[in-house]
Structure 1
Amino acid sequence: MEMGGAAFFTEVAIEPLSSVIHSSLSSSRFSISHSPFFGIPRKTKKHSGITRSRISSNGGGVIIEKKEFEFKPLFDDYLKAMENVKIDRDSNNRSSNSLRKKKHFKGKEGEGNTKFADFEDFRVEKEEDRDKMIVKEKLERGVSYRKIASKKVTDNNIIQTGVKRKGEILDMERAAFKSLENEDNVIDKPRISRVDMEERIQKLARCFFYSLNAADINMPEWKFTKMMRSAQIRFSDHSVMRIIQILGKLGNWRCVLQVIEWVQSRERFKSHKIRYIYTAALDALGKARRPVEALNLFRQMLEHMASYPDVVAYHCIAVTLGQAGHMKELFDVIDTMRSPPRKKFKTIIFEKWDPRLEPDVIIYNAVLNACVRRKKWEGAFWVLQELNQQGQQPSSTTYGLVMELMFACGKYNLVHDFFKKVQKSCIPNALTYKVVVNTLWKEGKSDAAIMAVEDMERRGIVGTAGLYYDLARCLCSAGRCQEALKQIDKICKVANKPLVVTYTGLIQACLNSGDVQNGVYVFNYMQKFCSPNLITCNIMLKGFLDHGMFEEAKLLFLKLLENGSSVYEKSDYKDRILPDIYSFNTMLDACAAEKKWDDVEFVFAQMLQYGHHFNAKRHLRIILDARSAGKKELLESAWKHLVEAERIPPATLTREIFCSRLEDGDYNAALSCLLSSPWIEVNWTRILTENGHRFQEDALVALMHEVSILVARNENVVLEQLMRSCKEFLKPPRF
């Protein structure tokens, strides 16, 4: 076979080169081994260009002159090379086995197989040269052979050891690609659908057990990482953003910050839209009413170009700060929005990148929200002036917020002026009419409020639940309870909250206006459609007591106690209303004000039975007044409750229980209560002088004797002071 000219070889021409060599050597009558051709190039110096390789045919032989060229293998070529090495290793094992068999056969046959033996020796020498070359290449590449002989070992030993270790190293290298040979390879598996991925995200975020929503905020990082990876989710920008959005809806803002921190610490997570993740976190913090955390996250976004805020991020932080009333921080955000970045970024690709923006209507509405919280009515005119300078027309929402600001500041005339301006420039929305109804309610114009709502309905504007709720409360305050109940049907069509909340608000409006009879009527009327909750009962309890209806309040309280006596399982708590600490405190104050100490004792005992605790600020004065009225049992029950709960009794209560027991002549019990409480310094002389008429002389003498015995055993400053005071008190007076 003859070939002339020159040919250029690249990495793609490896297989054609092996076929050319095979055909050329076959034509030159050389015996070719069936093992595949494979060679590993030597590691040499890189040249600046690719040189040519020339193949020339001269008669029966082929001369291949290989020049060095720069070679950058791809990952697919690396896999092909490793497959060829594996095939070469198997062929070497087969050739070594056949070699041993041939040598054994040569020893038996003698000189008859001389030609065949010579050829085998020639092939072995060639294979040994090739193995020696592979070992040297591995050594040059930095592969460590721990059991290769030192410099004193001969070349034959190096070749044998290298060939033996070569198979082990190739097996070790091939283990990195072991998954490519498995039948259940991840590449062959079908792609996870969006529905399945969303289910996994939902399960990770909102499940009751082993989920982020139920996770402890003090969880270690390794455990948090394990929980995140157990969901088998590909953590991309979309999946992380969905997790944050779900946690934001659940109100778990702490876990949102924990997810953000975990994402920042992952080196393997490369986000391409990190700004969207931060924006979702800002929205979640805003819904949870966490302005400080949102502002810290916003300032962190300003540190990097990839996360620099866009208009959506500015909207989120502005609304959050506006609802919280942080005026100064909100204006700082507006200045940042208009200014270039304080930190210089490397804008190599984006040379004309300019993140500066002008505030829009949403930003100015956030300013109005902050003004409402701060009651700064001058801010409304500043916002309208800024919108006029920028050529932006205020929306109906903007005018509604301006009217709400004037209503919060008590500028009712300006509310009506702005409402007329809204009617001329645009169509008012439900928020605008809601402010008008509240203004007319404050002015006592219930008929005008009804007319305003009817005008809204004629315009085709759908009212909100808050609008009809405010109108119903306005009518209840005016004593028009029947007309207010007619608004319930309209509220039910657009309301999201339970119906019991609406009725409770109407009852509160009736009681605030002083009309307790209408409040009772609404309370009885609501039980036809829904059961009152604990808040409703507490409002009625307070309303009865404020209007001097003690017996009605007592009946309602006893009804609540009856519900507690019929609870046998945990499921019974859902259907029955039990009194809380507010209910007991309200009844204790009312009974003490009415001087009904038997009722006070009963209510206090029931409070302890229901698991509520003694509060010194709230209950101590009532107990002391009951003791002055002769109710010692209430004092003893309070003392017993504190001792069983292992709480330190107040000093006033300890002094009173000491005097009460000493008055009964039980000096041992009086001394035991004194020793069980930590007293620092007590003016016993003043205590004995003020309560001397209650004590008997024999009791004081016995107490002084018992105290002297205890002081002789152990020194006690309080007991020593008590003994000296008793001696001074028992001294006969000098005339």
Structure 2
Amino acid sequence: HVYTTALHVLGKAKRPVEALNLFHAMQQEMCLYPDLVAYRSIAVTLGQAGYMKELFDVIDSMRSPPKKFKSGALGKRDLGLEPDIVVYNAVLNACVRRKQWEGAFWVLQQMKEKGVQPSTATYGLVMEVMLACGKYNLVHEFFKKVQKSSIPNALVYKVLVNTFWREGKTEEAVLAVKDMERRGIVGSAALYYDLARCLCTSGRCQEALDLIEKICKVANKPLVVTYTGLIQACLDSGNIQNAVYIFNQMRNFCPPNLVTCNIMLKAYLEHGLFEEANELFNKMLDDGNHISRRSDYKFRVIPDIYTFNTMLDASIAENRWDDFEYVYQKMLRHGFHFNANRHLRMVLDASRAGKGEVLEITWKHLEQEDRIPSPPLVKQRFCMMLEKEDFDSALACITTNSAGESQAFCKSAWLNLFEENAQRFRKDTIMRLMHEVRVLAAQSNSPNPVLQNLLISCSDYNRPRVKVPGFNQT
């Protein structure tokens, strides 16, 4: 009993591997050998996880227990069992996950041979398998079988609605639900939710919103999840206007959460509505200024790193560098960190576009966190300071942040940097830099390889270049 309970708990926790290990341990001892309840439990767990092979192994062991338990004193207990409808339904569950329509027919054949009558739930699962495999004609055929043998339940109608949705038959989906209600069958929240999304996909948003009341009567999930799903359905069908309509209607009944806002933010940007996205982003920033206690989070949404990165990407794509600088500053002030993999290229591009303040903000941010800037960041700031003829700051960049990066600051690297940024410097800038490097090197007690490489590169760069006819010197 304890082991069977443990199997059930592991199944509820969706831990099929641990459940299967426990089940195998039970099979090793006669006193613990699984009974029908245990077989049902492990079958349901494996079916929900889509573990088809393991499930068939369990069924084989169910029918043929180990030989060591078949004779002698231990053989007094009949260990051989046959799968019942619970086990067969578990196999169908696995077929849904694995999209194995052949497995569904195997189950029906086995049930027929063993004299097990399929239930409405069984046919509902068979229909789910066919839906998952895209065999819509078979879904309709099995629905007719259900109608002949019993009364379809909410699960069966849910599968039927989803099939009509996939087929683009919205009106048929609506009529199916009306037929269900006429029969007195109580629809599930999932059924009405899927019908509402189906309506959104076909542009019938107001009808979808009218279903919210029905969903609320039987739903366990928060209302915000329902609205967000309807918005996503509109976006999946490519209709941003309907998504905006539902988003605005949503605000009259429940506050959107972070997921909803991020979905809308990305949708605005993907449809070229930067100003609308910016307005939503600023609304989220403003919400952050009005949070003083935990309960405020129920009604206000503050941006996360996904929000900031989305706006940063959009600002760059639109060459809106003022907006980029604003968003980037807000990101750091909200406690999110500079991520070199994500933000380095952005900062460098912004700096080259004239937004040197972005680089300076990043530099200070890294200093506060005691992080060493990457060589590209060091070189960009070096050039920026050199352009301003602030030689002390330029040299400070490399003397304090070049340790362990000898290759990045070798002679050829410096020479390439000068040539790539030549248009940024005055004619005598490199010559004056040479003087400052010599002064700094003389003050050092030990030779600095980076400064030595820089000095040699300055000298090479300033060396007169003789043009030889027919020879292209770079």
Kept in 2, the 8 Å contact 1:707–1:723? The answer is no
- 1:303 partnered with 2:36: no
TM-score normalised according to structure 2 size: 0.90
Indicate how the Cα distance of structure 1 residues 648 and 400 shifts in structure 2: closer, same or farther if over 3 A, else same.
farther
Shift of 1:715: 4.7
The CA deviation at 1:335 is: 2.2
* Distance (Å, rounded) in 1 between the aligned partners of 2:377 and 2:174: 58
Cα deviation digits, residues 641-692 of structure 1 (max 9, x gap): 2222233433332332232223322333233332325414123332233223
Structure 2 residue 457 is matched with structure 1 residue 725: yes
Counterpart code for 2:383? C
CA distance in 2, matches of 1:648, 1:343: 67
Between the aligned partners of 2:83 and 2:151, the Cα distance in structure 1 is 24
User: Residue 472 of structure 2 corresponds to which residue in structure 1?
Assistant: none
Pair 1:691 & 2:421 matched: yes
Letter in 1 for 2:324: V
* 1:631 Cα deviation after fit: 0.5
Letter of the 2:19 counterpart: A
Q: How many Å apart are 1:734 and its aligned residue?
A: 3.1
Q: Which moved more, 1:434-443 or 1:325-334?
A: 325-334
CA distance in 2, matches of 1:709, 1:342: 89
Encode CA deviations 1:287-337: one digit per residue, 9 max, x unaligned: 222222222222222232333222222222222222222222222222222
Shift of 1:342: 6.5
RMSD of the alignment, in Å? Answer: 2.3
Residue 335 of structure 1 pairs with residue 65 of structure 2: no
Residue deviations 1:18-59 (CA, integer Å, cap 9, x gap): xxxxxxxxxxxxxxxxxxxxxxxxxxxxxxxxxxxxxxxxxx
Query: Deviations for 1:598-650, whole angstroms, at most 9, x for unmatched residues?
Result: 11100111111111112223222222221121111111212222222233433
Trace 1:117-516 onto structure 2 (pairs within 5 A): 276-341=1-66, 348=73, 351-516=75-240
Deviation at 1:701, TM superposition (A): 0.7
Shift of 1:576: 2.1
Count residues with an aligned counterpart.
Answer: 458
Q: Does the aligned pair in 2 maintain the 1:477–1:513 contact within 8 Å?
A: yes
Partners of 1:282 and 1:646 lie apart in 2 by: 50
Report how far residue 703 of structure 1 moved.
4.7
Aligned pairs for 1:65-80 (under 5 A) are: none
The answer to whether the aligner puts 1:549 opposite 2:279 as a matched pair is: no
Residues in 2 aligned to 1:345 and 1:728: alpha-carbon distance in whole angstroms: 91
Instruction: Specify the alignment match of 2:263 in structure 1.
Output: 539
Matched-pair contact (CA < 8 Å) for 1:681–1:718: no
Deviations 1:254-307 (A, max 9, x none): xxxxxxxxxxxxxxxxxxxxxx22222222222222222222222222232333
For 1:286 and 1:716, locate their aligned partners in 2 and report how far apart those are by CA, in whole Å: 64
- Quick check: 2:288–2:300 contact (8 Å CA) kept in 1? yes
Check conservation: 2:255, 2:300, Cα contact below 8 A. no
Gaps of 5+ in 1: 1-275
Deviations 1:454-494 (A, max 9, x none): 11112222110000111111111111112112211211111
Distance 1:574 1:475, change over 3 A: closer
The one-letter code of the counterpart of 1:641 is: H
Do the aligned partners of residues 581 and 408 (structure 1) sit closer, same or farther apart at CA in structure 2, a change above 3 Å counting? same
Determine if the alignment matches structure 1 residue 709 to structure 2 residue 465.
Answer: no
Q: Is the 8 A contact 1:472 1:506 kept in 2?
A: yes
Counterpart amino acid of 1:513? S
Letter in 2 for 1:693: Q
Structure 1 residues 278, 684: CA separation in 2 closer, same or farther (over 3 Å shift)?
A: farther
Return closer, same or farther for 1:651/1:410 CA change in 2, 3 Å cut-off: farther
Distance in 1 between residues matched to 2:391 and 2:3, nearest whole Å? 70
In 2, Cα distance between equivalents of 1:699 and 1:569: 57
Classify the secondary structure of the residue corresponding to 1:566.
coil
Mapped contact 1:679–1:718 kept (Cα < 8 A): no
Shift of 1:727: 2.8
Equivalent-residue separation in structure 1 for 2:350 and 2:116 (angstroms) = 70
Counterpart of 2:31 in 1: which secondary structure? Answer: coil
Q: How far is 1:571 from its partner?
A: 4.4
Say whether the 8 Å CA contact 1:623–1:634 is kept in structure 2.
yes
In the alignment, the residues of structure 2 paired with residue 728 and residue 509 of structure 1 have an alpha-carbon distance, to the nearest angstrom, of 63
2:393 is the counterpart of 1:663: no
The structure with the larger Rg is 1
AA of the residue aligned to 2:285: L
Q: Residues 709 and 424 (structure 1 numbering): CA distance in 2 closer, same or farther, change over 3 Å? A: farther
Match of residue 681 from structure 1: 407
**SS of residue paired to 1:611:** coil
Please report how far the alpha carbon of residue 345 of structure 1 lies from its aligned counterpart in structure 2 after TM superposition: 9.9
> Aligned to 1:713, what secondary structure does the other structure show?
coil
TM superposition shift of 1:391:
1.6
SS at match of 1:387: helix
2:433 is aligned with 1:700 = yes
- Whole-angstrom distance in 1 between the partners of 2:270 and 2:21: 47
Counterparts of 2:450 and 2:129 in 1: how far apart (Å)? Answer: 63
CA contact (8 A) 1:704 1:726 kept: no
C-alpha separation in 2, matches of 1:485 and 1:729: 70
Are 2:466 and 1:734 equivalent residues in the alignment?
yes
Matched residue, 1:201: none
- Between the aligned partners of 1:511 and 1:381, the Cα distance in structure 2 is 36
Distance in 2 (alpha carbons) for counterparts of 1:703 and 1:315:
82
Q: Matched residues, percent identical?
A: 61
CA contact (8 A) 1:708 1:723 kept: no
Query: Aligned letter for 2:458?
Result: C
> Normalising by structure 1, what TM-score?
0.59
Tell me how far 1:449 sits from its aligned partner: 0.6
Q: Does 1:627 align with 2:360?
A: no
DSSP-derived class of the 2:60 partner: helix
Task: Work out the CA distance in 2 between the residues paired with 1:280 and 1:638.
Answer: 56
SS at match of 2:117: coil
Alignment-derived partner of residue 175 in structure 1: none
1-structure distance, mates of 2:461, 2:68: 80
**1:524 corresponds to 2:223:** no
Q: Does structure 2 retain, via aligned residues, the 8 Å contact 1:322–1:330?
A: yes
The one-letter amino acid paired with 2:453 is Q
Query: What is the CA distance between 1:360 and its match in structure 2?
Result: 1.8
Verify the 8 A CA contact 1:403 1:435 in the aligned structure 2: yes
User: How big is the shift at 1:717?
Assistant: 4.2
SS of 1:306's equivalent in the other structure is helix
Pick closer, same or farther for the CA change 1:704–1:366 going to 2, 3 Å: same
Moved more, 382-391 or 303-312: 303-312
Between the aligned partners of 1:571 and 1:702, the Cα distance in structure 2 is 62
Contact 2:373 2:401 (8 Å CA) reproduced: no
Would you tell me which structure has more helix in proportion to its own residues? Answer: 2
Determine which of 582, 591, 601 is the counterpart of 2:315: 591
Q: Paired residue for 1:16?
A: none
Q: Cα distance, 1:723 vs. partner?
A: 3.4
**Aligned match of 1:562:** 286
Structure of higher RCO (CA pairs closer than 8 Å, 6+ residues apart): 2
Unaligned runs of 5+ in 2: 468-474
